[in-house]
Amino acid sequence: MNGAKSLVATLLRSGVDTCFANPGTSEMHFVAALDQTPGIRCVLGLHENVVTGMADGYYRIAGKPACTLLHCGPGLANGLANLHNARRARSGIVNIVGDQATFHRPLDAPLTADTDGIARSVSGWVHTSSRSADVGRDAAAAVQAARTFPGQVATLILPSDTSWDEGGMVADALDIPNAPVVDPLAIQNAARILRSRKRVLILLAGRGVLAGSQTLAWRIAQATGATVMADQVTSHLSRGRGRLPLERVPYIAEQAMEALKHFEHIILVNAKPPVGFFAYPGMPSRQYPDQTQLHFLSRNDQDPDAALQALVDELGAPEVAMPDPGPRPSVATGAPTPEGLAQTLAALMPENAIVSDESISYGRGFYRHTHAAPAHDWLHLAGGAIGDGLPVATGAAIGSGGQRRVISLQADGSAMYSLQSLWTQARERLPNTTILLNNRKYRILINEYKSVGATPGPTAMSMLDLGNPNLDWVKIANGLGVEAAQATTMDECADLMSSSFKRTGPFLIELMI
């Protein structure tokens, strides 16, 4: 058995059954082993940033890591932006990166790179195998690292001779370490603050915004009068009917400071203290008042359900019904607006859908209009590196076993970063509906010009214009194998949404906004 075959067998023993791949020469023995050993689904991405984004979306929905297959340092580097996003989302991913053979590397061939250094910028665990006999053991350790709560990027670098040499040995799956226990003093301190009946915010992040933690946080809030919000940078929320109608801390600095200015205490549940996405001239970086006291209930590597349950028990907070969000909205008509799109989405969304939201500035007000939608999962860009919306949606569809409709709310500019995702959706016949928001501008950067106090002229504005030439998303989608149509009104958009939700494969709606 060569090293590549031991790798595949070890991944299967460790529960990894999906591989998102963009392989090259150094990985050919691994590709052959995938062909010869049944059990791992291989999904091709036409760019490495699509591959890594798909692995991120897969983990968020499947709750277990997939592996990626990337070619040498430059291939890993091509996937780096969405690995940055995955790191921020705390998604578990096992990167398998082929590299120069151990005896070839000293010769400095063209693709030789500091693969280890590139990997460390986005990975919580990095290792390079040195011989075929170690590959299985190293792969088991990589999966263990990726699955360590709440999830992290693990990168295993395989010189090509460790794959083709004989002597590979299959390793058993390693035990996953338990999350660190919550400090009892943190529970007691939070209870003391909440009993004081002062103005307290419970700020949820990480897995603290999923359904179980929401229910516990609501019990605490109802028993103590506290407010509950979600962090702005949150990768995956449980939303819709039966869930807490959470709002996030706003993106815009002035709005965030306004939302947080009244709180005397903020209890952080897997969240960090709120800070701005960027620095702005004359504006504070921290979004909460100087006099506000911060209290960590649980760190991001601790179980928020356990922390909140302990706090419920400490307070004796009784069970309560979740808030009624009111009737389901009606379909909007007329010219497209952010409110109309959100309302129409809530009116038509299938049960148990998944929303991948990279609508950027257009979608900042979507939440308040979608609380009464059916129960669903909402996925956000967690790391700020645009171009993850379409790959995350593609991986989420695969992570759901193709059983849930995935709806992309996708800005036109960021869609161009990873449009190859549409090809994979077509190839795999995935249940993806993309609503492509086409305003032919980098609108968010126009707003950022104002925030930083810069004065754009014709040259600057031309770099924010996507209309010369216009992007024709119907033709782009068709060229990648995805059926598409254009909508200029909410009436047209609603009809196209309704029909797309009944399809088995992907569809793109180009909404002119």
pLDDT band at 443 (very low <50, low <70, confident <90, very high): low
List the single range of 425-439, 463-477, 497-511 with lowest mean pLDDT. 463-477
pLDDT band at 29 (very low <50, low <70, confident <90, very high): confident
Q: Does residue 254 register a pLDDT over 70?
A: yes
- Residue 450: the pLDDT is 64
According to DSSP, residue 333 is labeled -
CA distances from 201 to 235, 326, 483 (A): 20, 24, 46
**Ranges in the chain annotated CATH 3.40.50.970:** 3-164, 338-512
Axis crossing angle, helix 338-348 with helix 490-500, rounded to the nearest 10: 30
pLDDT band at 462 (very low <50, low <70, confident <90, very high): confident
Q: What are phi and psi of 106, to 5 degrees?
A: -60, -15
- Residue 361: the pLDDT is 87
Instruction: Report, in angstroms and rounded to the nearest whole number, the Rg of the chain calculated over CA atoms.
Output: 24
Q: Does residue 396 register a pLDDT over 80?
A: yes
Condensed to tens digits (0 to 9), the pLDDT of residues 335-391 reads 999 999 999 999 999 999 999 999 988 999 999 999 999 999 999 999 999 999 999
Alpha helices in 409-442 (DSSP H): 412-415, 421-428
- Cβ burial of 223 (10 Å; 0-12, 13-18, 19+) is middle
Condensed to tens digits (0 to 9), the pLDDT of residues 68-87 reads 999 999 999 999 999 999 99
338-512, which class in CATH?
alpha beta
Q: Which amino acid is at 273?
A: P
Return the CATH number of 184-315, one of 3.40.50.450, 3.30.470.20, 3.40.50.300, 3.40.50.1220: 3.40.50.1220
Q: Does residue 454 register a pLDDT over 90?
A: no
- Cβ burial of 218 (10 Å; 0-12, 13-18, 19+) is buried
Q: How far, in Å, CA of 149 to CA of 126, rounded?
A: 17
Question: For the whole model, what pTM was predicted?
Answer: 0.95
Q: Does residue 333 register a pLDDT over 80?
A: yes
Condensed to tens digits (0 to 9), the pLDDT of residues 91-106 reads 999 999 999 999 999 9
Condensed to tens digits (0 to 9), the pLDDT of residues 283-306 reads 999 999 999 999 999 999 999 999
Condensed to tens digits (0 to 9), the pLDDT of residues 400-431 reads 999 999 999 999 999 999 999 999 999 999 99
3-164, which class in CATH?
alpha beta
Condensed to tens digits (0 to 9), the pLDDT of residues 141-173 reads 999 999 999 999 999 999 999 999 999 999 999
- Residue 197: the pLDDT is 83
Q: Does residue 451 register a pLDDT over 70?
A: no
Q: Does residue 448 register a pLDDT over 90?
A: no
User: Tokens 């200015």 correspond to what residue?
Assistant: 261
According to DSSP, residue 493 is labeled H
Share of the chain above pLDDT 90, in %: 89
- Residue 17: the pLDDT is 98
Share of the chain above pLDDT 70, in %: 97
Sequence-ordered list of residues with C-beta below 8 angstroms from that of 199, at least 6 positions apart, any chain: 227, 262, 263, 264, 265
Count H helices, E strands: the chain? Answer: 20, 17
**Ranges in the chain annotated CATH 3.40.50.1220:** 184-315
